[in-house]
Amino acid sequence: MIASRNPCLADGTGTGRDVELRSATASADEECFPACLNPATLSGLPVAEFLDAARQAGFGLIEMSIQQARAFGLDRLREALQERRLSVAAASGILPADHILPAPLLIPEAFYQAALASVRERLEAMSVLCCPVATIVVNPRSSLPCRDAGDLAVRRLRELANACEEFGLRLAVEAVGVRRGLDASLGGQFSVCTTPMELDELIQRADHPALGVLVDSYHWAATGGMPEQLTDPQAPIVHVQIADTPRTPGNRTGWTDEMRHYPGTGSLDWPLFRTALAAAGYLGPVSVELFNPQLRAAPVADIAARSLAGARACFPGCGS
């Protein structure tokens, strides 16, 4: 059990803790795979507009950028969440890139040390919001040789997990499976981590109870979409993001994040994905995350509504 300085987790009143416990304890007869909305799907709307769109569509769970949350004001945000009956399932920005975007794990050392010096302020903000999970991305490639990059990733994962543990949070680590169209911060000459098995190896080396896996359905499909990629790793799945793959899959190596579709409108094998998640012991939130500029050009209300409809179609019985 992770020691907790998070009052939301300690007294059992925080809905974020309820989300985490559901993933560990829900049975087939209980609500599972509740739908969640990632702010990237709505192109980084201002906080109040994002909350309104999520609630009006029928979502009960959201992800947040912790930078945006702190800028909005934590007391004000807690009130806004309570008014709209929303809970924060996960938050990005344990390492911030700017006022909205998160940074990947293998940023330059000077930037990492500066972020590490203030990481507890961001984690404390997550705990105030009863958020049980912090998220981070491992660079698929790096300018560092493979062994050096791996050693650095393990050291940093352990440091960040130690900080998360103080606040009763889990650190959900994501591998990026797509190869094209990535931000320059994720590039480099040498491969680091792209597949679930490579990610599991890093997490096992870091060997910390606060570490877990963030599974993204799109990245999973881009690296083969095999159920054993979810069921064989030892590290627990602690958060899931979803989007559908191109309707005509073609060569997976040509996929980009901008080719994502609403869940249920592409070629991903959703029954296989859902069954593999359950077999791996995960029954928690599934958060819709889209980067497709054509889809994001639609009215905000339509995007949010279609996101929820897609999640529910792909996860029958999915709650909100």
Measuring CA to CA, how many Å separate 61 from each of 35, 84, 127, 164? 7, 10, 16, 21
Residue 2 within a domain: no
Three-state DSSP at 295 gives helix
Burial class from Cβ neighbours inside 10 Å (0-12, 13-18, 19+) for residue 80 reads middle
- Residue 18 is predicted with a pLDDT of 44
Domain that holds residue 237: 7-22+32-314
Check if the beta carbon of residue 267 is closer than 8 Å to that of residue 261: no
pLDDT in tens, the chain (320 residues): 334 455 564 433 344 444 443 333 333 334 689 999 999 999 879 999 999 999 999 999 999 999 999 999 999 999 999 999 999 999 999 999 999 999 999 999 999 999 999 999 999 999 999 999 999 999 999 999 999 999 999 999 999 999 999 999 999 999 999 999 999 999 999 999 999 999 999 999 999 999 999 999 999 999 999 999 999 999 999 999 999 999 987 789 999 999 999 999 999 999 999 999 999 999 999 999 999 999 999 999 999 999 999 999 999 866 56
At position 133, the amino acid (one-letter code) is: V
Residue 139: CATH number of its domain: 3.20.20.150
Residue 1 lies in a domain: no
Handedness of CA 190, 195, 197, 201 (dihedral sign): positive
Number of domains present in the structure of the chain: 1
3-state helix, strand, coil in the chain (%, to 5): 45, 15, 40
* Nearest Cα residue to 177 out of 159, 160, 150, 197: 197
pLDDT for res 7: 54
DSSP structure string for 47-98 = HHHHHHHHHHHT--EEEEEHHHHHHH-HHHHHHHHHHHT-EEEEEE-SSBSS
pLDDT at position 8 = 67
| Domain-embedded: residue 320 | no
Q: How far apart are CA 311 and CA 89, in angstroms?
A: 15
The answer to whether residue 41 is domain-embedded is yes
Give residue 248's identity as a one-letter amino acid code.
Answer: T
d(CA 220, CA 301): 28
Helix 47-57, helix 74-84: angle, nearest 10: 20
Within-domain flag for 16? yes
What are the strands, taking DSSP E only, across the chain? 35-37, 61-65, 87-92, 133-138, 141-142, 170-175, 190-191, 211-216, 237-242, 286-288
- The DSSP secondary-structure symbol of 100 reads S
- Predicted model pTM: 0.92
Task: Judge whether 186 lies within some domain.
Answer: yes
Q: Which long-range contacts (CB under 8 A, 24 or more apart) does 245-254 make?
A: 245/218, 245/221, 252/221, 252/222, 252/223, 252/224, 253/179, 253/180, 254/180
Kindly state whether residue 27 falls inside one of the protein's structural domains: no
CB 254 within 8 Å of CB 239: no
Place of tokens 């049980």: 132
Strand 87-92 with 286-288, pairing:
unpaired
Q: Is residue 284 domain-resident?
A: yes
